[in-house]
Structure 1
Amino acid sequence: MDNRFAVIQPRALGVACAAALLMAGCASHKPKPYSEQELRDRVVQDQQRMYADQEPVTAPITFYEAAARALKYNLDYRLKLMESALASDLRDVSSHEMLPRLVASAGWTGRSNDSGGTSIGIEDRQESLRPSTSEERYRNLDSLGLSWSLLDFGVAYYRNQQKIDQVMMAEERRRKVAQNVLQDVRNAYWRALAAQRLMPEVDRLLARTNQALESARKAERDGVTGRQEILAYQRSLLDAVYMLTVRRQDLEFAQAELAALMSLPPGSRMELADMPEPALPDQLAPVDQLEQVALRQRPEIMEEWYRKRVDLNDIRIAKAQLWPNISVSAGYQYDSNKYLYNNHWSDTGLQVSINLLRLLQYPSLNRAQESQANADDYRRIALSMAVLTQVRVGAMRYDLAEQEVHFADESLRVDKSLLDYAQAARGTALGSELEVIRAESRYLLSRYQREAAYSSAQAAWGRLYNSVGLDVFPDEIQSHDIKTLATEIERTMRNNEQAGLAVPAPGARE
């Protein structure tokens, strides 16, 4: 007995020391914030990844090339691509859960003394054997077992169906982000192109206006003309400066917004292709036709429809856990114990079990399934109603924007005639110079308003395109260069517009 305790005490002491060291290590583990150098390194790495692997800008950018750059390099869109890929990977992982379990194990076991015992008679309670053992103190154990459970298979099957639907939901979210990115590009591109066209003229006119303002101040100081007249002249010039400065700020913001959408590095030179404006569609498809296309195509509606199946499978999983569970097992075992008659053997098993009390949940699960289906349907219907409203409002906005373009064209024609008249009647007096500056300001403002009207019409067309839910890009993005991708986007958009959005007018310019 003393020898036994002599063996146990060192082992117990070792276990106690290990536990004490583990507790000391946990107690000394304190929060460790990032160092300043790590923060700087992280910022540098993030900035490098923001603009990594981009094709350089070597030529003026067309609208479809701007869309291609935004779709390929926009960080929000990249994030949705990664989320879609992650959902697909999780689906692949969940599909393996339906397979039977094949478990291989190997181990070693030992004890400080012999196992064994004596036996006594059942009736007379007399000892019939001296103490004996049939198990070695130290032995190896190996096994290979195959098991399959009907309940685990059913739960894994429905969860795999959920993962498949979640992949489809992620794909719909990716479609929506791409559509929103294209709409933002359309909103910014035409305003940025207007900025590129108008900003040099605005700068030149601002310089002339400031020069005329300085001349007026000098005339005021010298008393060349009446004070009221010269102050009124300065007031008119200041109004022109304010108007031009505000318009110039709007133009600068549009260029910065487009550069951000395309994820261009800061300071990159961006030149847009100053090509003839594409003609706006003259006639839309009937609104009821647009509404039907939207109800079929909008990513939000499709995502809610897939969500209904995910919610339904939650109820099915709960119902599957009420089934009788059938478990089948088979395995191979090995034990190195030399006292065994058979060291190798195979075993098989079949077990059926059911939790009878869980059957009481069945009526509640049926009610929950019905309520969940109704909630999903009404959520999708409410979203569909909002989509129909967006389509109707989008069609109305496009009609109004198209009328505004026609009005801006007429205003531009009139202001151009007034400018020509003022320049022809220019004299040497301050008043005539003021009239020329006023006419140039009005003409430049009309040009700005015309560019803004056209940009608004393009934006309205983009909102209508977005509200209908039409796709704008081919299935593969990363495998295309910018030129090829721009061509594919242009082809896809034209096909979609001709198929479900616009009715081409006879002789309309492409």
Structure 2
Amino acid sequence: MPPFALRLTVACMPLVLAACGSVQPKAFTAEELNDRVTSDMVAMYKDQEAIAAPIDFHEAAARALKYNLDYKLKLMETALSRNLHDVSTYEMLPRLVAGAGYAHRNNDSGGTSIGIEDRLQSLRPSTSQERDHSMANLSFSWNALDFGVSYFRAQQKADQVLMAEERRRKVIQNVLQDVRNSYWRALGAQKLLTRVDTLLERVNKALVRAKEIEKQGLMPQAQVLGYQRALLDAVNTLTLRRQDLELARAELRALMSVAPGVNFTLAEQAELSLPRIPVNVEALERLALEKRPEIMEEWYRKRVTENDIKAAKVLLWPNISFDAGWQYDSNKYNYNSSWFDTGLRVSWNLLKLTQYPALKRAHQAQNDTDDMRRLALSMAVLTQVRVGVQRYGLSLQELEFAEESLRVDQRLLNYAQAAAKSQFDSELEVIRTEARALLGEYQRYAAYSNAQAAWGRLYNSVGLDILPETVESHDVSTLAVAMKDTMNQWQQTVFQAAAQQQ
């Protein structure tokens, strides 16, 4: 090494050693924290289509699907799995390595020779290598065991792509389920909140008047207190229902990822028809075993674990390696400055064969475990389907009862309004019956939303897709139409057939 380079290296060593011990914990500053929060808030709501009209159910589902952050995460995980699979396929290629270098030493490399028998020096000291010379090479190598292991690893990555796709399908199904749970309650909230607020104002005024009547002694105290108790019950019931309605709208806003401060209204659309109760449950169960993303993911996971064992078994076999390359050395003492070399080598670690019985047992145990896990999950899926059918039937009965109760409450309200006089007790009766009718209307909306939720759980338990395999574009309106068509198609082909007697 030249003296200058040596002195520079020695001078830099203390700086390098000092830097190794100078790294200390450093927390983010308040400014960095504020910048991160601001950028995250912008990223969560960026590139969203403006809400230009009232939102119907399918548009709400499309918005939730397009802008839901969990779904975006699954899309990214799927893309990552595909990229990792692409990377793994290149690992099966042979190695083609190019290299270049420079060598320097401060004295000559050389040597002498002595006789084996007499131990006398036979050559004077000599060298055949320059003190400075450059080298270059281009080598090709292929290893049979590396190829075999890389092949099974690539298969694993391919199966992991399919597993990520199944998880994406599950997220889509769950998003639709959550929207179905919230949308119809939110629509009921939009229809009833103003009426609830108006009635609460009337009830509070009636309560103040009842207290005045009690002070003035215009009515028996027991009767006035009974009226106050009825008014307080009405206030309590209406207040609780009002909270439920407001929460439903807030949940829907979160599902659609609507930015704070952005107002939206829901379309006053006709309620979607609910299918008949499925009778051929066995057909739904079989379809669920074919379609549920969780079962498909477990099935692909079995192939992944099998390939782990296969890759381990590959390492038990003899290894064949082939090498070829071009070499160059600028050393002037070489007779040939460039040359080609090739080589073929076979090797076998015989002691590795002792692992084969253990690998075989592990393979069988792994297969049995994966099969049992899938069977346990399949049993849970079948239970979900049967429970889903029963819950859907009960929700339809609840809806029918709520509709009948609402009809009775409406008739009572009409009667009370027609018979009302100027007396306080008549006014109170009108308020009580109006509150009862409004509560009945809320219960009817709640019963319908529960029926929609039960229908959505049954749809979800079968594992049916929400979107077709390909969509022309990913704008909200196109997604909404695609979702509507897909769900209607499944409803007509699967559930309509399952509603027929076997």
Q: In which range does the TM-score fall when normalised by the shorter chain?
A: over 0.9
What SS class does the counterpart of residue 109 from structure 2 fall into?
coil
SS at match of 2:345: strand
Pick aligned residue for 1:56 from 25, 37, 50: 50
2:117 to 123, 126, 129: 123
CA distance in 2, matches of 1:500, 1:297: 12
Matched residue count: 500
Output one character per residue of 1:270-294: Cα deviation in whole Å (capped at 9) or x when no partner.
Answer: 2111111121112425100000000
* 1:322 to partner: Cα distance: 1.0
CA distance in 1, matches of 2:467, 2:2: 73
* Structure 2 contact 64–255 (Cα < 8 Å) conserved: yes
Residue number in structure 2 paired with 1:335 = 329
Single out whichever of 436-445 and 122-131 deviates more from structure 2.
122-131
Distance in 2 (alpha carbons) for counterparts of 1:330 and 1:238 = 93
Cα distance between partner residues in 2 of 1:505 and 1:385: 23
Report the alpha carbon displacement of residue 501 of structure 1 after superposing the two structures with TM: 2.5
The structural deviation recorded for 1:226 is 2.3
1:95 is the counterpart of 2:89: yes
Distance 2:426 2:318 in 1: 98
Aligned to 1:263: 257
Q: Cα distance, 1:498 vs. partner?
A: 1.9
Give yes or no for contact 1:281–1:504 (8 Å, CA) kept in 2. Answer: no
Q: Per the alignment, do residues 474 and 339 of structure 1 end up closer, same or farther by CA in structure 2, a change over 3 Å counting?
A: same
**Contact conserved, 1:282 with 1:504, CA < 8 A, in 2?**
no
Partner residue in 2 for 1:80 = 74
1:126-170 Cα distance to aligned partner (Å, 9 max, x none): 222111111000000000001000010001000000000000001
**CA displacement 1:326-353 (0-9 Å, x = unmatched):** 0001000000000100001000010111
2:461 is the counterpart of 1:463:
no
Q: Do the aligned residues in 2 keep the contact of 1:283 with 1:503 (CA within 8 Å)?
A: no
* Structure 1 residue aligned with 2:206: 212
Q: How many angstroms apart in 1 are the aligned matches of 2:498 and 2:142?
A: 62
TM-superposed deviation, 1:19: 3.4
Which secondary structure state, in structure 1, belongs to the residue aligned with residue 126 of structure 2? coil
State how far apart, in whole Å, the 1-side matches of 2:241 and 2:446 are.
10
Match of 2:493 in 1: 499
Distance 1:445 1:503, change over 3 A: farther
Deviations 1:386-409 (A, max 9, x none): 000000000000011111111111
Corresponding residue for residue 199 of structure 1: 193
Name the structure 2 match of 1:232.
226
Secondary structure of the 1:134 match is strand
Q: Name 1:47's counterpart in structure 2.
A: 41
* Equivalent position amino acid for 1:334 in 2: Y
1:273 aligns with 2:267: yes
1:418 to 412, 421, 424: 412
**Aligned equivalents of 1:390, 1:478: Cα separation in 2:** 34
Comparing 337-346 with 23-32, greater Cα deviation is found at 23-32
Q: Which residue of 1 aligns with 2:424?
A: 430
* In 2, Cα distance between equivalents of 1:219 and 1:62: 48
Mapped contact 1:68–1:486 kept (Cα < 8 A): yes
User: In 2, distance between residues paired with 1:314 and 1:321?
Assistant: 11
1:68 lines up with 2:68 in the alignment: no
Alignment-mate amino acid for residue 158 of structure 1 = F
Identity of aligned residues (%): 60
Helix, strand or coil: the match of 2:465?
coil
Q: Does 1:401 align with 2:395?
A: yes
Tell whether 2:480 aligns with 1:481.
no
Question: Which range moved further: 144-153 or 272-281?
Answer: 272-281
Distance in 2 separating the partners of 1:9 and 1:135:
22
User: Which residue pairs with 1:385 in the alignment?
Assistant: 379
Q: Quote how far apart the aligned CAs of 1:320 are.
A: 0.8
- Residues in 1 aligned to 2:130 and 2:292: alpha-carbon distance in whole angstroms: 71
CA 1:478/1:115 → structure 2, altered by over 3 Å: closer, same or farther?
farther
Q: Which residue pairs with 1:221 in the alignment?
A: 215
Task: Using the TM superposition, give the Cα deviation of residue 17 of structure 1 relative to its aligned residue in structure 2, in angstroms.
Answer: 4.1
Query: 1:27 deviation in Å?
Result: 0.9
Q: Aligned residue for 2:353?
A: 359
Contact between 1:120 and 1:126, CA under 8 Å: does it hold in 2? yes
The worse-fitting range, judged by mean Cα deviation, of 35-44 and 273-282 is: 273-282
Aligned-partner Cα distance in 1 for 2:219–2:381: 64
Quote the offset at 1:215 in angstroms: 1.2
What letter matches 1:113 in structure 2?
N
Distance 1:478 1:499, change over 3 A: closer
- Greater Cα shift, 261-270 or 212-221: 212-221
Which one of 439, 444, 447 corresponds to residue 441 of structure 2?
447
Structure 2: distance between partners of 1:505 and 1:146: 66
Mean Cα deviation higher: 96-105 or 220-229: 220-229
Secondary structure in 2 matching 1:98: coil
Contact 1:304 1:376 in 2 (8 A): yes
TM-fit CA distance, 1:266: 1.3
Query: 1:111 aligned to 2:105?
Result: yes
Q: Residue 122 and residue 479 in structure 1: after superposition, are their counterparts in 2 closer, same or farther (change >3 A)? A: farther
- Counterpart of 2:129 in structure 1 is 135
Deviation (angstroms), 1:220 = 2.1
Gaps of 5+ in 2: none
Q: After superposition, give the CA deviation of every residue in 1:296-348 in whole Å (9 maximum; x if it has no partner).
A: 00000000000000000010111111111100010000000001000010000
Query: Aligned pair in 2 of structure 1 residues 438, 215: CA closer, same or farther (>3 Å)?
Result: same
Q: How far apart are 1:233 and its partner, in Å?
A: 1.2
Per the alignment, residue 26 of structure 1 pairs with 20
Q: Find the aligned partners of 2:473 and 2:39 in 1 and give their Cα distance.
A: 25
Q: Distance in 1 between matches of 2:15 and 2:475?
A: 59
What SS is found at the alignment partner of 1:116? strand
Task: Write the mapping of 1:141-160 to structure 2, written as runs, cut at 5 A.
Answer: 141-160=135-154
CA distance change for structure 1 residues 24 and 456 in 2, over 3 Å: closer, same or farther? same
Partner of residue 320, structure 2: 326
Which ranges in structure 1 are unaligned for 5 or more consecutive residues? 1-6
| 8 Å Cα contact 1:72-1:477 kept in structure 2 | no
* Corresponding residue SS for 1:133: strand
- Aligned partner of 1:277: which letter? E
1:369 aligned residue: 363
Contact persistence 2:181–2:453 (CA under 8 A): yes
User: Residue 290 of structure 1 corresponds to which residue in structure 2?
Assistant: 284
**Distance in structure 2 (CA, Å) of the matches to 1:471 and 1:98:** 36
Q: CA separation in 1, counterparts of 2:317 and 2:267?
A: 67
Instruction: Summarize the Cα distance change of 1:374–1:100 in structure 2 as closer, same or farther, 3 Å threshold.
Output: same
Does the 8 A contact of 1:498 with 1:504 survive in 2? no
C-alpha distance in structure 2 between counterparts of 1:52 and 1:434, whole Å? 52
RMSD of aligned Cα (Å): 1.6
